[in-house]
Amino acid sequence: MFVTSDPLEAYAWAAQQSKTYRVALVPTMGALHDGHLSLVRRARELAEVVAVTIFVNPTQFAPHEDLARYPRPLEQDIEMVRSAGAAMVFHPSDHAIYPPGFSTYVNPPAVASRWEGVIRPDHFRGVCTVVLKLFQIIPAQVAVFGRKDYQQSMVIRAMARDFNLPIQIEVADTIREPDGLAMSSRNRYLTPDQRLQALSLSRALRMTRQQALSGVKSVTKLERVLTDELAAGSDLGVDSIDYAAVVDAHTLEPFSDAILQPNAVALVAARVGTTRLIDNLSLTPDFATSMNDS
Ligand code: AMP
């Protein structure tokens, strides 16, 4: 496996590989878990060679967020990527991505404006900017993102469309712990008690989906189920909710007249202690494959 922190070396590697092979790119911030590795496996199905990037992107964190404490187990990550069968790891320094004088940013698409875009105002500007740069540094035919960050995947798709980026954007299912908790690098911040509280995200989403599938059409009712279950009588609920919404899965806009339509998704962001967690679930039967009903 080729490992480099140099953008020019990464570019040369990708250019060379693309002469013979289809190249897939999997961007990550490291602290890898099975969710990330499932993206690598999906990428291997879509291309002969897979490049993984590991970069904790400072421009997508606000000053009060967890940039400094974000875990960075680089050696362990590289070994995990190697055993998942990737051909290359690119792990640049901050300086290599944001050299002195750096001042060009992507203005994110409309789908970035609500939800995460409200709570984390510059977040998607940082995400779009770094993803566009990674696409330039490692020209690939396909890039794989996780549905776990649902709004992010829609933002990247819209950017690729709007900028005519010659790359296919693949979105892979959310990988969960056996009890339903969506895997996340931030789960390692949770104490055992907080981990129990965190379970209320997947539980609330599951209950909301059950209600939707059993015919509840009122978005107000569905959002009440979502919120009540997230709070779960406080004991085992989250400490606070950033948002809990049932929206159009394409635009991420609320439904007109608050009546559920096909292609709906439930989005949640909540805090447990100082840890911020996000999760989502499709409310449409044929898309609802990533979490069991039972
Ligand atoms: P991150 O390292 O958190 O920036 O995530 C890198 C990529 O992995 C993103 O495309 C995420 O959506 C994806 N990802 C994170 N957690 C999961 C998960 N539990 N299942 C599937 N994909 C995930």
Q: Ligand 1: residues within 6 Å at CB? A: 28-29, 35-36, 38-39, 145-146, 148-149, 172, 174-175, 182-185
| Euclidean distance between CA atoms 265 and 223, whole angstroms | 11
Residue pLDDT, tens place only, 147-175: 999 999 999 999 999 999 999 999 999 99
Best of 149, 188, 267 to mutate for ligand 1, by most ligand atoms within 8 A of CB? 149
Confidence of residue 284 (pLDDT cuts 50, 70, 90): confident
Atom of ligand 1 nearest to the CA of 186: 3
> Mind listing the pLDDT tens digit for each residue in 16-44?
999 999 999 999 999 999 999 999 999 99
Nearest CA to ligand 1 atom 12: 146
Residue with CA closest to ligand 1 atom 13: 146
pLDDT digits (tens, 9 = 90+) for 82-138: 999 999 999 999 999 999 999 999 999 999 999 999 999 999 999 999 999 999 999
Is-catalytic flag, 36? yes
User: Which atom, in ligand 1's list, is nearest to the CA of 38?
Assistant: 21
pLDDT at 277 over 90: yes
Calculate the average pLDDT of the chain.
Answer: 95
Cα 162 to middle of ligand 1, angstroms: 23
Q: How far is CA 37 from the centre of its chain?
A: 13
Task: Please give the number of the atom of ligand 1 that sits closest to the Cα of 145.
Answer: 10
Catalytic residue among 33, 36, 91, 250, which?
Answer: 36
Q: Is the pLDDT of residue 293 over 60?
A: no
Q: For residue 35, report the distance from its CA to the centre of ligand 1, in Å.
A: 6
Give the pLDDT band of residue 285 (cuts 50, 70, 90). Answer: confident
> Is the pTM for the entire model greater than 0.85?
yes
CA distance 287 to 226: 19
Strand partners, 267: 245, 280
